[in-house]
Structure 1
Amino acid sequence: MSENNQLRDVFDAIADPTRRRLIRLLAESAEMPLHELTVHFQMGRTAVSKHLAILKDAGLVTARKVGRETRYRLNPTPLKQIQDWVAFYSKFWSTNMLRLNQLLEEEEE
């Protein structure tokens, strides 16, 4: 799925703390079935499944059937959009920190 064809915005998909936690769990494991993911949350399988569907729509998660269970895997490629966005603004913080450092050094003198 290409960036332009994604059904859901990656930023929207990671906006929810539950989905960010799902991403973290999947990043720490090669692949996990729904029942293993569900034990990490105080919600039912249906709710976790809905969060996974949102991540899947954004291209962040892939799913494959193994017998009767669905196994989920992280696809980190769309996270690059977030990294690029944050990198753009990190220039702002670097510049401001440099200015603050210069100001503090001037006050010390």
Structure 2
Amino acid sequence: MNERLFKAISDPARRQIFHMVFMTSAISITAIATKFDISRQAISRHIKILEEADLLEIKKQGRERICSANPKPFKALIDWSSFYMNFWNNKIDNLDNYLSDH
């Protein structure tokens, strides 16, 4: 499991940025920065963390840097959480069966 993914999604601003990029398919960093009440520098740091987690891809287009979303890393997160969800569902089912029998 990629620790960078957990770091990236741990911050509400980064989750909002990813959602914005995902929903628009491609957006400039300047356009992202206008949607937040934090500095452009802070937005750039958040975007760097998302990029390091492979959640964003950034391409230069003229003077602009354009972000596009890469949701593929979420598959590892889904697989990881599914394991534990199945584990606990089985435990609860077993407990329910045990209690029903006694």
Q: How would you bin the TM-score normalised by the shorter chain?
A: 0.7 to 0.9
2:56 matched to which residue of 1? 61
Match in the other structure for 1:41:
36
Shift of 1:41: 1.5
Alignment RMSD:
2.4
Match of residue 46 from structure 2: 51
Counterpart residue number, 2:22: 27
Output the TM-score relative to the length of structure 1: 0.77
Unpaired segments of 5 or more residues in structure 1?
Answer: none
Task: Please list every run of at least 4 consecutive aligned residues from structure 1 whose deviation after the TM superposition is greater than 3 angstroms.
Answer: 96-104
CA distance 1:41–1:103, change in 2 (3 Å): farther
Percent sequence identity over matched residues?
Answer: 32
For 1:82, the equivalent position in structure 2 comes to 77
Residues matched between the structures, number: 101
How far apart are residue 97 of structure 1 and its match? 4.7
